[in-house]
Amino acid sequence: MTLTTNQKLAIALTAVVAVAAVTVAIFYVVRIRTQGRILTIGIEVYKSADLGPKLEFIDWADISPSESKYVECWVLNTQNTAVTLELLTENYNPAESQQYLKTAWDISPETVLGPQEAIKANIVLTVSPNAQNVTGFSYDIVIKATKTG
C-alpha cells in the first residue's frame, strides 16, 4: 500500500498534534498566591544589613507546588541579655494549607545572640508537591527570643 503525499502530511500532522497535547499535559503548573506576616517577641527583624526598614510582611508572590522561595533578613536582639531564637508559624488561612507548607530558617536553636547583636537569616517557604488544590493562603511567622541562662 502506497500513501499519497496528502495522506503522509495528514499522518505527520496528527502525530505533531498528539505530541503537543501530551506536552501540554506534562507542563501543567499551578500557581499559588501567598502572604506571610512577621510577628516578633523580644527582637526586631529587618530587610537589610543596615537594620532598616523593618520586615513585617513577606509577599511570597506566586509559588508552585514542589517549589521553595526564601527571604533574607536580619534579626536584632533588642534585649539587654543574651537570647536564643525560635521560628514558629500559626494562623493558616485556609487551615488545611498548613499541611502543604513548610517554613524554616537557617538559624540553629542553639545559636546565642548577644544584647543588641544582629544575625543574618534566610526564611524559606517550601510548598508540597501535593498542594494541587490550594489556590491561595496566608499565615503568620512568629520569631521569638528566649533569654538564656
Q: Is residue 14 predicted with pLDDT exceeding 70?
A: no
Q: What is the CATH number of domain 33-147?
A: 2.60.370
Q: Is residue 18 predicted with pLDDT exceeding 70?
A: no
Q: In 10 A of CB 120, how many CB atoms?
A: 11
Q: What pLDDT sits at residue 8?
A: 55
Q: What pLDDT sits at residue 133?
A: 83
Q: What pLDDT sits at residue 11?
A: 57
* CB-CB contact of 60 with 36 (8 Å): yes
* CB-CB contact of 32 with 68 (8 Å): no
CA 56 distance to own-chain centroid: 16
When comparing pLDDT for 110 and 16, which is higher?
Answer: 110
d(CA 38, CA 56): 5
When comparing pLDDT for 50 and 136, which is higher?
Answer: 50
Provide the 8-state DSSP code for 62. Answer: S
Please choose, from the candidates 149, 145, 112, the residue with its C-alpha nearest in 3D space to the C-alpha of residue 40: 145
* CB-CB contact of 44 with 76 (8 Å): yes
Kindly give, in sequence order, each residue whose CB lies less than 8 Å from that of residue 121, ignoring residues fewer than 6 positions away. 72, 73, 74, 75, 105, 106, 107
Q: What predicted TM-score, i.e. pTM, was given to this entire model?
A: 0.76
pLDDT tens digits, one per residue of 61-113: 889 999 999 999 999 999 999 999 999 999 999 999 999 999 999 999 999 99
* CB-CB contact of 65 with 97 (8 Å): no
Q: Residue 11 has which C-alpha cell?
A: 499522518
Split at pLDDT 50, 70, 90, the class of 27 is very low
d(CA 84, CA 129): 33
Q: In 10 A of CB 143, how many CB atoms?
A: 23
Q: What pLDDT sits at residue 16?
A: 46
Whole-number average pLDDT of the chain: 83
